[in-house]
Chains A and B, each alone.
Chain A
Amino acid sequence: MSTLLRLATAGSVDDGKSTLVGRLLHDCKAILADQIAHVKTVSEARGGDFDFALLTDGLRAEREQGITIDVAYRYFATDKRSFILADCPGHVQYTRNTVTGASTADVVIILVDARHGVLEQTRRHLAVAGLLRVPHVVLAVNKIDLVGYDEAGFTKIAKDVNEVADQLGIADIQAIPVSALVGDNVVDKSAETAWYDGPTLLEYLENATGRIDNSQQPLRFPVQYVIRPQTDDQYRDYRGYTGTVASGTVSVGDQVIVLPAGRRTSVAGIDRAVVTATSTAVVERPSAVAGEAVTVRLTDDLDVARGSVIVAAEASPGTRRELAATVSWLSDRPLTVGARVLIKHTTTTAQAIVTKITGALDLDTLGVIDATELALNDIGKVQLKIAAPLAADPYSSNTITGSFLLIDAHDGWTLAAGMIDDEEGELL
């Protein structure tokens, strides 16, 4: 099993996300000598102590303003597993970047300043984590050193966060009292929190189950690009459909349906490339599982192109031209009913019209309220009419065939992250 774990930080501005990431890397001995020397020099030039946040806040503007603006990715490994860490911004203005970092995360670490408790951004980021269905959420109650390592305060915040999480349908939150600055319960157990008998942050992360295993789901294979070498050799008549298995397993002989056409055929071969300094060839393999980039050949000569999705014959999602979805709106320009946009769903990009805005998430009550438009950072429910049929699943059963982007057709900006609702539409 791949033991890689992808983490993202979240939580309100200044709650200590970057400091925590720096501390985690530092205490795992994942920072090399020249990086430490650099941070020391810069910290001293500013007349302060060693600033762990400088290990990830690498942009000039971030250092000048003392805040994180965009996601920084860091890579480290312990004896147990390796990690990709996405340190995200807390400032509301940069929520789109936090959504970016969280969209690929297996674990989101939500930080809360022990002095301030749950703030609006905490709720917003929890909602984002819930919406994206990030498998695990850790609550790091940070700056516990500034409240005298007070157990009651910690318990209160954990309770508040759990209430919010319950409403958002997030299960299983591990709350950990930490001081990113001092290092309490990050890698080393703190002597100051004798009342806490849970894991340190690193212990938790080393033992968390990773990515949700998509290999048991029905086959979905979005075709990216068709390979036709048309060379004079053994590959003269080769025609292969490249892609990455989105879910399930594909095996030679499998009965499949090619969407959107709906034609039935079977898998003739699955190829993986073998290249040496001088030769480029493929070897056949009996099967491939979710996450693997392969090339599939089919028995019948069908019209298969980019945008086609090869699916298990016994569990086809069919296609639809109308979608009900929940979107995280990432643009300064508000979304209104009737808006024409592009939708990018797996390997299909098509025109779409927003036919309805059915509601928006109210961060105070966590209920859905009526809305006629969605503004920057809003989470809302919409209905879309699409110019091409999409082979889509609900996001709850498949994060790849259940997700999409809305794109501005004029300037190409990514407007929204979309998640397709279940039939009943109860995602929020």
Chain B
Amino acid sequence: MTTTTASSPTTVTELDALESESIFVFREVAAEFERPVILFSGGKDSIVMLHLARKAFSPAGVPFTLLHVDTGHNFPEVLAYRDAVVEQLGLRLEVARVEEYIADGRLRERTDGTRNQLQTIPLLDAINGHRFDAVFGGGRRDEERARAKERIFSLRDEFGQWDPRNQRPELWSLYNGKHRPGEHVRVFPLSNWTELDIWHYIEREQIPLPSIYYAHERDVFERDGMLLAVGPYSQPRAGETVAERTVRYRTVGDMSCTGAVASNATTAAEVVVEVAASEITERGATRADDRASEAAMEDRKREGYF
């Protein structure tokens, strides 16, 4: 072990405070639950989550399984990143595949072809099948108005449902993980982080990300004010013109409905500058599925979505 020479700070900076809060949450779950799982999509929030979990238990390994609910509409860079991380860290990864549900008829492809919404059933089946009792999600309260209402420990009934009108009180940092058989708890260690905090942290900790998070050239077309990539799951319709643009992604989801933003940022530090100056929220800029209705996210979350 090496000894640091830097004197320890007498007070704690904001990023350190967020980090400590998240680490505290991971340790509470490890101690109080039998079968926790981290939802790991290979997106930046789940990558930061995993980084924090590793810190929480270092020098031992992360005592949790990872679960990816795979829409089948993936960015290849993200899948490659996911597999490399799992391999490098010797983690256990479970994959629940929307594709299999469509193939055998348990789910039907939506008319718009997007699959974010279709993830709920495979997710709940995986939770039941593996008897996971604590499920870490990378959701942040700053993302969306229904998420802004959610507890850090958020109870799900035996159908996986969230009841936003009847949440348990959550006092101080005394997280109550009690649940009955069949119920589970969604845990959100990044609740109090903002998009900007996440990028500051990625910069500070030098956390590698899939390359699509940084500026790159891509053939895109514009739809609903978003830049969608031309690819196997999304093709321009009549009247939509394709152009090569320099873009990056702010979120990663179903490739067919996740928008890119014009950007020249090639480092985390440059992304920080862009995010700080951004005039549109992360989901507003990149998620077509949230525009469906006023309470689209709430409705999905009630049914058991992330």
Contacts from A to B (Cβ < 8 Å) = 1-4, 32-35, 42, 56, 58-61, 63, 69-75, 82, 84, 96-97, 99-100, 103-104, 213, 215, 224-225, 227-229, 231, 234-235, 238, 242-244, 269, 271, 273-278, 280-289, 291-293, 295, 306, 330, 342, 344, 347, 399-400, 403-405, 407, 411-414, 417
Given A60-B294, A60-B295, A293-B20, does the pair A227, B57 have CB atoms closer than 8 Å? yes
- Judged by a CB distance under 8 angstroms, whether B111 is at the interface is no
The list of the 4 closest CB pairs from A to B, nearest first, reads A58-B145, A412-B178, A34-B284, A273-B58
Q: List 23 A-B contacts (CB under 8 A).
A: A4-B14, A4-B17, A32-B284, A35-B281, A42-B294, A69-B165, A74-B142, A74-B148, A99-B171, A215-B11, A227-B59, A231-B59, A271-B1, A280-B58, A282-B58, A292-B12, A295-B58, A342-B178, A347-B31, A405-B176, A411-B180, A414-B169, A414-B170
Q: How far is the CB of A86 from chain B (nearest CB, A)?
A: 10
Given A58-B145, A72-B145, A284-B2, does the pair A414, B176 have CB atoms closer than 8 Å? yes
**Are A330 and B169 closer than 8 Å at their CB atoms?**
yes
**Are B4 and A75 closer than 8 Å at their CB atoms?**
no
Provide the residues of chain A in CB contact with B176, threshold 8 Å: 344, 405, 407, 412, 414
**Are A412 and B280 closer than 8 Å at their CB atoms?**
no
Q: How far is the CB of B39 from chain A (nearest CB, A)?
A: 20
Smallest Cβ-Cβ distance to B13: which chain A residue = A2
**Are A58 and B58 closer than 8 Å at their CB atoms?**
no
- Judged by a CB distance under 8 angstroms, whether B274 is at the interface is no
Q: How far is the CB of A168 from chain B (nearest CB, A)?
A: 19
Complex Cα–Cα for A404 and B172 (A): 9
Residues 162-187 of chain B: 1 if any A CB is under 8 Å from the residue's CB, otherwise 0?
00110111111110101110000000
The one of A82, A84, A215, A244 in contact with B10, judged by C-beta atoms closer than 8 angstroms, is A215
**Are B148 and A58 closer than 8 Å at their CB atoms?**
yes
Contacts from B to A (Cβ < 8 Å) = 1-4, 7-14, 16-17, 19-21, 23-24, 27-28, 30-31, 51, 54-61, 88-89, 141-142, 144-146, 148-149, 151, 155, 164-165, 167-174, 176, 178-180, 191-192, 194, 205-208, 278-281, 284-285, 294-295, 298-299
**Are A73 and B298 closer than 8 Å at their CB atoms?**
no
The one of A58, A280, A293, A295 in contact with B24, judged by C-beta atoms closer than 8 angstroms, is A293
Given A59-B295, A289-B11, A292-B20, does the pair A75, B142 have CB atoms closer than 8 Å? yes
Smallest Cβ-Cβ distance to B29: which chain A residue = A225
The one of A1, A58, A72 in contact with B298, judged by C-beta atoms closer than 8 angstroms, is A58
Instruction: Classify the secondary structure of B's interface with A.
Output: loop
**Are B280 and A417 closer than 8 Å at their CB atoms?**
no
Provide the residues of chain A in CB contact with B299, threshold 8 Å: 60
**Are A275 and B51 closer than 8 Å at their CB atoms?**
yes
**Are B149 and A71 closer than 8 Å at their CB atoms?**
yes
Provide the residues of chain A in CB contact with B54, threshold 8 Å: 273, 275, 280
Q: How far is the CB of A58 from chain B (nearest CB, A)?
A: 3
Provide the residues of chain B in CB contact with A292, threshold 8 Å: 12, 16, 20
**Are B61 and A229 closer than 8 Å at their CB atoms?**
yes
Listed residue (A42, A75, A282) with the most chain B CB atoms within 10 angstroms of its CB = A75
Given A34-B281, A273-B58, does the pair A73, B1 have CB atoms closer than 8 Å? no
Complex Cα–Cα for A122 and B168 (A): 23
Provide the residues of chain B in CB contact with A287, threshold 8 Å: 8
**Are A70 and B149 closer than 8 Å at their CB atoms?**
yes
**Are A235 and B169 closer than 8 Å at their CB atoms?**
no
**Are B164 and A59 closer than 8 Å at their CB atoms?**
yes
Known: A73-B149, A282-B1, A412-B168. 9 other contacts (CB 8 A): A2-B17, A4-B14, A32-B278, A58-B149, A70-B164, A72-B149, A74-B142, A275-B58, A330-B169
Provide the residues of chain A in CB contact with B194, threshold 8 Å: 75
Smallest Cβ-Cβ distance to A55: which chain B residue = B145
The one of B24, B206, B285 in contact with A244, judged by C-beta atoms closer than 8 angstroms, is B24
Complex Cα–Cα for A36 and B212 (A): 29
Provide the residues of chain A in CB contact with B4, threshold 8 Å: 283-285
Q: How far is the CB of A359 from chain B (nearest CB, A)?
A: 22
**Are B59 and A280 closer than 8 Å at their CB atoms?**
yes
Provide the residues of chain A in CB contact with B30, threshold 8 Å: 225
Given A33-B280, A97-B167, A293-B20, does the pair A285, B8 have CB atoms closer than 8 Å? yes
**Are A281 and B59 closer than 8 Å at their CB atoms?**
yes
Q: How far is the CB of B191 from chain A (nearest CB, A)?
A: 7
Q: How far is the CB of A110 from chain B (nearest CB, A)?
A: 19
**Are B174 and A404 closer than 8 Å at their CB atoms?**
yes
**Are A100 and B171 closer than 8 Å at their CB atoms?**
yes
**Are A97 and B11 closer than 8 Å at their CB atoms?**
no
**Are A286 and B170 closer than 8 Å at their CB atoms?**
no
Provide the residues of chain A in CB contact with B13, threshold 8 Å: 2
Complex Cα–Cα for A63 and B172 (A): 28
The one of B1, B7, B61 in contact with A280, judged by C-beta atoms closer than 8 angstroms, is B61
Given A275-B54, A407-B178, A414-B169, does the pair A224, B27 have CB atoms closer than 8 Å? yes
Complex Cα–Cα for A244 and B1 (A): 21
Listed residue (B1, B28, B61, B146) with the most chain A CB atoms within 10 angstroms of its CB = B1
**Are B23 and A344 closer than 8 Å at their CB atoms?**
no
**Are A238 and B172 closer than 8 Å at their CB atoms?**
no
Given A72-B148, A286-B8, A412-B178, does the pair A399, B172 have CB atoms closer than 8 Å? yes
Smallest Cβ-Cβ distance to B53: which chain A residue = A275
Q: How far is the CB of A49 from chain B (nearest CB, A)?
A: 18
The one of B3, B23, B295 in contact with A293, judged by C-beta atoms closer than 8 angstroms, is B23
